[in-house]
Chains A and B, each alone.
Chain A
């Protein structure tokens, strides 16, 4: 205790000594085990982070080669392909719905279908959005559990497979939740 800066009163020296003598220590073998455990856990964490960044980057290269419109947001890559409608409305990572969701604009812009693919670790989720000049419809398809939520509404969870849904009118956006992450597409 000499290196410390306290002046233990004499009447407390005995209990202080017992505390110092009784503190837990790590045996050398256990110390090495624990250090390896830390290293392995840290490597696992680093791999997860790299996948979050590099996985989508690899996908980006492939998608660009295929001529897809591709951008990334918060570590998730999204590839899009549009069918029909206008070709000039891709200013914000391909999201075409700004100023597009009313029937009057639809008469000259036409209906619109667009497919977005998210990849995160082993999960691949495809979201097909269709604007039919009246409703915004979503089709979700995923190989792993995911859920989605319109605005602040209830969350709809699915184990995997496909699911179709129509966005309620006036909603602010759809949030897709998977792998502990949330990604919101504003409407």
Chain B
């Protein structure tokens, strides 16, 4: 991938990817690591995006593979959970920080299939169609999981 294309991809998707990964892992530092790793793989991939899916979907699939790799490694997972408990949010308003922390914490208690949909939708700002493509599910299934996840969250954080 040439430098210009990489810059464009990074500018367009770094924020969304970080939003998704932070909601998915509950850990900002770990999320940044995975964002960096994902874009490194994009830069070094021998076979780049081949147009079979949206470029955004391709990028998120790399990130999700990386998440799966991490989940497989027990040690890394344990470290990640340790970091979750010590993560410090920026001090940009006590009420906002408290709400954000409560949401992130509640997300970690959601069933995995609901959390990933909520994280992709509201952290990554992916459309339901993109999420369905990424996860290989029907859009109606994704929609159902999203609403179930939101209801669970509402009951937890009020």
Interface, chain A (partner B; CB < 8 A): 3-6, 8-9, 11-12, 14-16, 18-20, 22-26, 31, 34-35, 37-39, 41-42, 45-46
Contacts and interface: CB of A to CB of B under 8 A. Distances in A.
A38 B122 contact: no
A23 B19 contact: yes
6 contacts: A19-B150, A24-B23, A35-B7, A35-B14, A38-B10, A45-B44
Contact of A12 (B100, B127, B154): B154
A35 to B, nearest CB: 6
B127 to A, nearest CB: 5
A134 B33 CA distance: 56
Contacts, number: 92
Given A22-B103, A26-B18, A16 B122 contact: yes
Contact of A24 (B19, B153, B154): B19
Interface stretch (B34-42, B67-75, B78-86): B34-42
Given A12-B147, A15-B153, A18-B99, A24 B31 contact: yes
Nearest to B28: A24
Contacts of B121: 4, 6
Contacts of B122: 16, 19-20, 23
4 cross-chain pairs, A with B, having the tightest CB-CB distances, nearest first: A19-B122, A23-B19, A24-B22, A42-B43
A41 to B, nearest CB: 5
A176 B73 CA distance: 27
B150 A16 contact: yes
Interface of B: 7, 10, 14-15, 18-19, 22-23, 28, 31-32, 35-36, 39-40, 43-44, 96, 99-100, 103-104, 118, 121-123, 125-129, 139, 143, 146-147, 150-151, 153-154, 157
Question: DSSP majority for the B interface?
Answer: helix
A173 to B, nearest CB: 29
Contact of A5 (B15, B128, B157): B128
Contacts of A12: 147, 150-151, 154
Given A9-B147, A18-B99, A25 B15 contact: yes
Nearest to B10: A35
Given A16-B122, A19-B103, 7 more contacts: A3-B125, A5-B127, A8-B150, A20-B122, A22-B96, A34-B36, A45-B40
Contacts of B154: 11-12, 14-15
B125 A26 contact: no
Interface centre among A14, A34, A45, A46 (most CB of B within 10 A): A34
Contacts of B104: 22
Contacts of A46: 44
Contacts of B15: 25-26, 31
Contacts of A45: 40, 44
Contacts of A18: 99, 103, 157
